[in-house]
């Protein structure tokens, strides 16, 4: 998937060892998924040299590709299984969705900025998705992801990559029995990452996982520029 020459493999191995494993990411499937995705394909050309830095990077339009460690915390908390179907709200560069596609059967992504979605499509195609090459099938849509993707629901897992002022009820509704969602909640510098679980009987439990910092989840119609 990364082509015959994978020049940045050593940088990626360092990222996984130093930023993820050393900081407590223990799920081997999650670590392997990060090793499989060339992060340099998801950043703007000018930032390729910085692709494996330990922080978020600017992807244009005031948005960022999340810090690898934060993506890992979220994916590990989702306890993804190979048969799962996952929804990501806030596709951005497509990086988190690419990593998630190695952990699930099928992934769905919604992004509200058309230019970012177009770039994400290119990035995902360059690493072999949608279709062949990746572990799971990838489906993308332009829209306000705070309403989820009703036609494709329910989902075993929902990854929300932008911070809501509250947990959107539509997303909880679209969680399958035993489904999990991770979502940053709060405004500005006061955000908490929440894990929401639906038990087999259908009731929901919400557990805070710690402070985070994400761009806002914008509940307005998508922008076509
Ligand atoms: N997961 C991304 C990072 C996303 S940054 C990555 O790996 O690169 C958050 C993204 O959420 C931005 O691209 C922003 O445009 C998008 N976003 C914000 N509100 C949204 C909404 N209501 N629906 C869909 N996307 C949204």
Label residue 2 by pLDDT band (50, 70, 90): low
Least confident of 30-34, 62-66, 149-153, 192-196: 62-66
**Residue 185 clears pLDDT 50, i.e. is over it:** yes
pLDDT score for 223: 86
The CA 31 to ligand 1 mean position distance, Å, reads 23
Question: 55: helix, coil or strand?
Answer: coil
CA 95 to ligand 1: nearest atom:
7
Among the listed residues 178, 184, 170, 174, the one whose alpha carbon sits nearest the alpha carbon of residue 197: 178
Residue with CA at minimum distance from ligand 1 atom 13: 92
**Which of 71, 112, 191, 222 to mutate to test ligand 1, by most ligand atoms within 8 A of the CB atom?**
112
**Cis (ω within 30 of 0) for the bond into 154?**
yes
CB atoms within 10 A of CB 133: 13
Among the listed residues 210, 164, 107, the one whose alpha carbon sits nearest the alpha carbon of residue 172: 164
What is each CA distance from 124 to 12, 80, 173, 209, in whole angstroms?
A: 18, 20, 28, 29
**Residue 200 clears pLDDT 90, i.e. is over it:** no
CB atoms within 10 A of CB 155: 25
**What's the pTM?**
0.95
Residues sharing a CB contact under 8 Å with residue 43, sequence separation 6 or more, in sequence order = 50, 51, 57, 59, 65, 93
The model's pLDDT over 141-167, given as tens digits with 9 standing for 90+, comes to 999 999 999 999 999 999 999 999 999
How many residues in total does the chain contain?
Answer: 225
Least confident of 27-31, 103-107, 129-133, 174-178: 129-133
Question: 105: helix, coil or strand?
Answer: coil
The CA 154 to ligand 1 mean position distance, Å, reads 21
The model's pLDDT over 40-69, given as tens digits with 9 standing for 90+, comes to 999 999 999 999 999 999 999 899 999 999
Question: 22: helix, coil or strand?
Answer: helix
**4-212: what CATH class?**
alpha beta
State the burial class of residue 160 (Cβ atoms within 10 Å of its Cβ: 0-12, 13-18, 19+).
Answer: buried
In the chain, the percentage of residues whose pLDDT exceeds 90 is 86
Lining residues, ligand 1, CB within 6 Å? 63-66, 89-90, 92-93, 95-96, 110-113, 116, 144-146, 161-162, 215, 217-219
Residue 66 known to be catalytic: yes
Beta strands in the chain (DSSP E): 57-60, 63-65, 85-89, 106-111, 137-142, 155-160, 175-187, 190-198, 204-212
Catalytic residue among 66, 93, 101, 161: 66
The CA 218 to ligand 1 mean position distance, Å, reads 9
The CA 7 to ligand 1 mean position distance, Å, reads 29
Instruction: Say how far apart CA 8 and CA 151 lie, in whole Å.
Output: 39
Q: Enumerate the β-bridge partners of residue 41.
A: none
Q: Which two tokens stand for residue 112?
A: 């509200």
**Residue 130 clears pLDDT 80, i.e. is over it:** no
Residue with CA at minimum distance from ligand 1 atom 18: 217
pLDDT score for 137: 84
Average pLDDT over the chain, rounded to an integer: 93
Instruction: Say how far apart CA 140 and CA 167 lie, in whole Å.
Output: 22
**Residue 131 clears pLDDT 80, i.e. is over it:** no
Dihedral sign from CA coordinates of 202, 77, 72, 126: negative
């Amino acid at each position: 998937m990364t082509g015959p020459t994978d020049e940045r493999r050593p940088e990626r191995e360092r990222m996984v060892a130093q930023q993820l494993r050393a900081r407590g990411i223990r799920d081997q499937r999650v670590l392997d998924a990060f090793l499989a995705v060339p992060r340099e394909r998801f950043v703007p050309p000018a930032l390729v040299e910085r692709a494996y830095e330990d922080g978020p990077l600017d992807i244009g339009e005031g948005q960022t590709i999340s810090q690898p460690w934060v993506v890992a915390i979220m994916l590990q908390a989702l306890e993804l299984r190979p048969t799962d179907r996952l929804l990501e709200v806030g596709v951005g560069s497509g990086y988190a969705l690419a990593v998630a596609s190695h952990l699930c059967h099928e992934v769905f992504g919604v992004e509200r900025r058309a230019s970012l979605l177009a770039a994400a499509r290119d990035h995902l195609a360059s690493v072999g998705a949608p279709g062949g090459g990746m572990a799971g099938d990838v489906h993308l849509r332009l829209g306000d992801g705070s309403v989820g993707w009703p036609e494709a629901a329910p989902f075993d897992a929902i990854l929300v990559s932008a911070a809501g002022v509250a947990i959107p009820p539509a997303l909880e509704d679209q969680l399958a029995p035993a489904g999990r969602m991770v979502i940053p909640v709060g405004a500005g510098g006061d955000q908490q990452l929440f894990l929401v679980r639906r038990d087999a009987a259908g009731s929901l439990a919400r557990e805070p996982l710690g402070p985070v910092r994400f761009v806002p989840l914008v509940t307005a119609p998508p922008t076509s520029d």
